[in-house]
Amino acid sequence: MSDDEDIQVEGPGLAEDDPMRAFLPTSFGKKSREADIAAQFDRSKRAAGKPQVEQGKALHKPQDSSPEDAKGSDSDSDDDSDDSEDDEDEFPTSHEMVIKTHDRAVTTVSLDPAGGRLISGSIDCTVKLHDFSSMTPTTIRAFRSVDPYDLKPSTSGQETHPIHHVEFNPQAGSVFLCISAHPQAKIMSRDGDIITEFVKGDMYLRDMNNTSGHISEITTGTWHPTDKNLCVTAGTDSTLRIWDVNNKRSQKEVIVFKSKAPGVAGRSRMTAVAWGAPAQGGSNVLVSAALDGTLVMWSGNGPFTRPAAEIRDAHKPNTWTGGIDISSDGRMVVTRGGDNLIKLWDTRKFKEPLVTVDHPSTSDHYPMTNIKYAPNSTSIITGSATGHLHILNPGNLRSEYTTPITPGSPVITVDWHPKINQIITTSANAETHVLYNPDMSNRGAIDVMSRAPKRRHIDDNPEFTTDQTLGLSGDAIVTPGAMPRARKAGVTASGRSLDPRRPQVQQITPFMRSQPDEKHISENIPLSRMLHEDPREALLKYEKLAKEDPMFTKAWNSTQPVTQYADVSDEEEEAGPDKKKVKR
C-alpha cells in the first residue's frame, strides 16, 4: 500500500431504521447532560385535567333557592360547559407533583411564608420535612423525618401520637406549631428540633381557669395573624388557650367555653379555631367551633371573659366541625361541619348563615378535614370523601371547579399558598399532591421539575446510608457533645452535667446500635446459652442429686441429733400459753 492511497475505515453496515443504531455511540468524549424541561412538565401534566362542573353543581345547592334560580342554573349549564377550558386555565391545577413519604394518611400540611419548605404530618406519628431546593424529579423525598415525642430523652421509645396539625408561623418562617394527640403542644424549628414545649395542666383541678395548661388532648391550633409570639390551641377540655412562645410554663390567656347544650355538664370539646385580621388593618377576630354545634366569636384583642357573639346549633350537635376559616377582609367566616353542610357567616350579623350548601363530610374518619380561603379570598377550596378538590365561589358557595385528586381516597386537608400560587392537598392514601401551572405559578414544584434528573445511586437513599433516628451516617465519627440536640440546659459543651451528683448520660452512637449476631455470641462468649434458660428450671435439675448426695452437709448426717418436741395436751392447746403477770 503506497503512502498516496487513502485509508478507508468501514463502518457498521446497518440500515437507517435499524433499532441497533440507538445502542451504538455516535461521538467520542463526555456528553453534556441537559434537562428537557418541556418533557418533564409534560410528564407531570395531570391526565384528568378537565373540570367536572356538573358534578360540583350536583353536590352544592344554595339554601332557599327559587325556581327561577333553578331554571337559570339549567340554562347556564351550556355556557359553563363552553367555559370549561377557561376555568381550567384560571386555577393552578394543570400539573401536579406527587410526594409519597408517609406510610399512612396525611392529615395536615403547611408551607413556610417563602414557599420553599413543606412540612406534613400523618397518622403514622411522624412529621416529614421537604425542601423544594434539594429535590429533583427523581429524588422527591423528605430530607428529615421527625417523631416529636421520640426527640425527648425521657419518653424515647415509650409513647407516640398521631399528628393533628402543623402550621408555619406566618410572620417568622423559622418555627412552626406542632399539635398531636397529646395535652402539650410544641414549637419546633424549620429543621425539626423542639424549641418549646408548653406545660401540661393539673388534671385534678375542676376550674379550668386555674390550670396552667391543657389537661386533655389538643385538637387544633393556629398562630396570631400579626403577632409572631402568640398562638392559640383548642383542646378537648372545653378551653382555648393563648400562649406566648417565650413562656412555656403557663398560658397567657384562658378562654373557658361553657356549653349550654343539655347533658354535657357545661363542657364540650373544641374542634376548630381560626384567628384572622383584616388585610387593610383593624381589630382581629377569633372564632371557634365546639362539638355541641356551637359557633363562638371573640374579639381577638380581648378581653375574653365574654364572647362577642355565640350561635347555638350552628351545626348538628355531636358532629365534628373540623373546617373553619376567616376571609382576608375579616368579615366572612366559612365552616364545614360533620353534618354534610358548608355554611357561610357574616361577622357583622353573626346570627344566621348567609348560604348553606350540601357537601359530603369525612370528619367521621378524619376529623382534621379543613376548608380554606384562597389568596385574597377570591375562592374557597376544600376536599371531599370521593377524592376530589372543590373550588367554590366565595359568595354563593357554588362549585366553580371540581377535579379528581385521588379518586376513591378522601382528600383530607388543602392549602393554597399565596406567594408561589400552588395548591397542596393531602389524602388518606398517604399521598401529598402539589398542584401548579407553569404559566401562573412560580418556584416551588416548578423549580423541582426544572432540574435535571439525578442519576440513581445507592448512596442517594438515606434509608441505607444514614441512621434515621440520628440523621448520621453509620460510619461517622461522633465527637462527644457535637451530636444534634446534645446541648441542653444544665450541661457543658462536652455534654457533661453541671451537677456533680448527676451521672453523665452516655450518648448512643450508630456504632453502639450495632448488635452482634447470636452465632457470634454462642461461639465466643462462655456460658452465653444460660441467658436463654429459666433459672428455676436450671436449679430444679439438681434437686434429686442434692438429697441423695449432699455436698456440704454430708459429714453431719451421722452426728446430727434427732429433733424432739414436747407433747402438748388438748387443754393446754385451748388455753394457750400462760400470760406473764403485769408488773405494777
Which residues partner with 287 through β-bridges? 274, 297
Instruction: Supply the pLDDT for residue 336.
Output: 95
- Rounded to whole angstroms, the Cα distance separating 432 from 422 reads 13
Instruction: Show pLDDT as tens, one digit a residue, over the chain (584 residues).
Output: 455 555 555 555 677 788 877 777 666 665 555 667 888 888 889 875 444 443 334 333 444 444 344 444 444 444 444 454 555 568 999 999 999 999 999 999 999 999 999 999 999 999 999 999 989 998 899 999 998 877 655 444 457 899 999 999 999 889 999 999 999 999 999 999 999 999 999 989 988 999 999 999 999 999 999 999 999 999 999 999 999 999 898 999 999 999 988 777 788 999 999 999 887 777 889 999 999 999 999 988 878 888 999 999 999 999 999 999 999 999 999 999 999 999 999 999 898 999 999 998 887 789 889 999 999 899 999 999 999 999 999 999 999 999 999 999 999 999 999 999 999 999 999 999 999 999 999 999 999 999 888 776 666 665 565 555 555 555 555 555 555 554 455 555 555 566 666 665 666 655 555 566 677 777 877 777 777 788 888 888 888 888 888 887 777 777 777 777 777 776 666 655 555 555 65
- Rounded to whole angstroms, the Cα distance separating 139 from 368 reads 29
Please tell me the pTM assigned to this model.
0.70
- What residues contact 209, with CB distance under 8 A and at least 6 apart? 254, 256
- Rounded to whole angstroms, the Cα distance separating 158 from 150 reads 8
Cell representation of residue 247: 413562656
DSSP 241-267: EEEETTB-SS-SEEEE----STTSTT-
Please, what is the Cα angle at 150 between 145 and 153, to 5 degrees? 135
What CATH number was assigned to the domain covering residues 53-202+210-455?
Answer: 2.130.10.10
Do 410 and 123 contact (CB within 8 A), yes or no? Answer: no
DSSP 4-56: TSPP--PPP---TT-GGGGGS--S-SPPP----HHHHHHHTB-S--S--HHHH
- In the 8-state DSSP scheme, what is residue 393? -
Kindly report, residue by residue over 208-224, the tens digit of the pLDDT: 999 999 999 999 999 99
- What residues contact 55, with CB distance under 8 A and at least 6 apart? 388, 399, 402
Give, for 323, the enclosing helix (H) or strand (E). strand 323-326
Kindly report, residue by residue over 51-90, the tens digit of the pLDDT: 444 333 433 344 444 434 444 444 444 444 445 455 556 8
- What residues contact 255, with CB distance under 8 A and at least 6 apart? 239, 240, 241, 242, 298, 304
Cell representation of residue 573: 392447746
Give, for 109, the enclosing helix (H) or strand (E). strand 106-111
Peptide bond into 353 cis (omega under 30): no
**Could you state, in order of their start, the residue ranges of all structural domains in the chain?**
53-202+210-455
Whose CA is closest to 404, among 88, 48, 81, 93?
A: 48
Do 393 and 419 contact (CB within 8 A), yes or no? Answer: no
Cell representation of residue 315: 351545626
Whose CA is closest to 57, among 550, 393, 533?
A: 393
From the CA atom positions of the chain, what is the Rg in Å?
35
Give, for 87, the enclosing helix (H) or strand (E). helix 84-90
In the chain the first and final C-alpha atoms are separated, in Å, by 147
